[in-house]
Structure 1
Amino acid sequence: MRIRHIEVFYHVYREGSISEAARNLFVSQPSVSKVLRHAEDQLGFPLFDRRKGRLYPTDAGTELFREVSEIYDRVSALNRTASNIRGRKGGHLRIGVLPSLGFAIVPPMVAKLRAANPDASFDLSTLHSEEITTALLEKRFDLCIGFDDEFDDRIRCQTINAVGIALLAQRGMFDDNAKAISPDTLDRKEMIGLRDSGPVADRIEVYLANAGVEPVVAISAQTYYVAAELVKLGAGFAIVDGFTAKRFANEDVQSFALDRSPTLPFVAMTLAEESGNALVEDAIATLTSLFG
């Protein structure tokens, strides 16, 4: 089937009539009928039964529509992308960011970039630490923002700052007046743990092991925001990165520093071989000015 066949078949199937399909496609009814007949001739089987002026999909047509609808959606997405590219004037930046940094870092950065360059456009997505290298190498993103700088030499890492880890708990669970919590107080206490959550979770695990304490993981969550939301609902305490702790601390949830806790860098990452993208460099400079 050609793209035009797919387009006409899709609309005839969805609308159930040639007249409605023609209206949606902004063409004449004879034109739609001609393309539909040509599609059936090419395929070698009918797509619709024609009874009393109505079109009813054949079993073959229904089976084919499942595939056609996916292709049509892809073509529509392609056309939207082409339209977006055509309308860009001030550059376009595709940013991938860890979920825990998504709220704290990217919105103020993009807002400041837009204020300086109103014609710039942005595509923002979240990804996990283990996806960053592949995403950059496949050129799905121009810039990634995450924790740690232990990437291979194909990735250029620029450290913006460092962030610590913190303990989140409902008020009253620990001494509200404490400036920092000793890890000893966490031994054998039930907590909300993090699984498969990258370098921050790794640092937390090493920190607790070095302190010789072993909290009981009663609930295991994959993201910091789920863990923090569980804290807010009274399901236990959690150890998270400083950005997540700052975002969720309020009159009901308290953030505590942890004695002798580690810090880890948060970094801007690009392909080492890519250089000279002014919008990328502006974004990194903006990150540094806001959080450096």
Structure 2
Amino acid sequence: MAEQSVRWLVLGAQGMLGRDLADVLAQAGREVIAAGRDEVDVADAAAVSAAVADADVVVNCAAYTDVDGAEADEEAAVALNATAAGVVARACASAGARLVHISTDYVFDGDADAPYAESHPVAPRSAYGRSKARGERQVLSSGPGALVVRTAWLYGAHGTCFPRTIARLAMERDRLDVVADQVGQPTWTRDLATFIVALTDADAPGGIYHGTASGQCSWFEFARAVIASSGADARVEPTSTVAFPRPAPRPAWSVLGHARHEALGVSSIGSWRERWSVAAPEVLGDARSG
């Protein structure tokens, strides 16, 4: 099937990733329908079935992403991240549409010291992570062609994210304390969108893939890069996770391996630092000073 004739449906299209994915597809001349919550309720089986009926590829970006909120209301997280994921997966299987489901590094325990392989056993420690792991199982059990793309440390221009928050705080404060004992891969939603398209165009076999930038850094290191790009004068100091207790445990290690898609000839996203330098003007926008 020619790339231009593939009909794409993006669910959760009002979110940070969904908006960038719809934009990347449209700019590439692809046929895409961007459906937010108001257009398609992913928990409504009839609505989902109707929406996917004419789609060739469905990307499910809809998710409950309030990591701390999930600790107090795990049922709500499960409803969207697991139960609704199953609704979408079964509808896609019935319609013969290719499903790409977005998941997270939170399915792992965060105790590793080397990049997590796609096949590494999941061991979530938070309610959010448990709900996403359940969603993965629903998707993978729906049929052999479904894809799960795990990602981490997402940032973009269309929502609340770490760089935009740091840049705003840097205009309000002289000093910022940022945790230095959590390590991951800052990933631009626009890069992830491009990766999803490339993976699908390569007719990747069903299963799990990791879509994150290359390299690794701590939140502290990322904050310093953000401050440098923002033009602010705030000083960034390293601190520890224990200094900032949160309801949900944060993974200390969120570095994901890329072996499976690279074996298919699909390029990994470039280094997080180089990609941030490209993304910064768009992501920070009016949050930049000077």
Q: Which structure has the larger Rg?
A: 1
Judge same fold: TM > 0.5, yes or no: no
- TM-score with structure 1 setting the length: 0.27
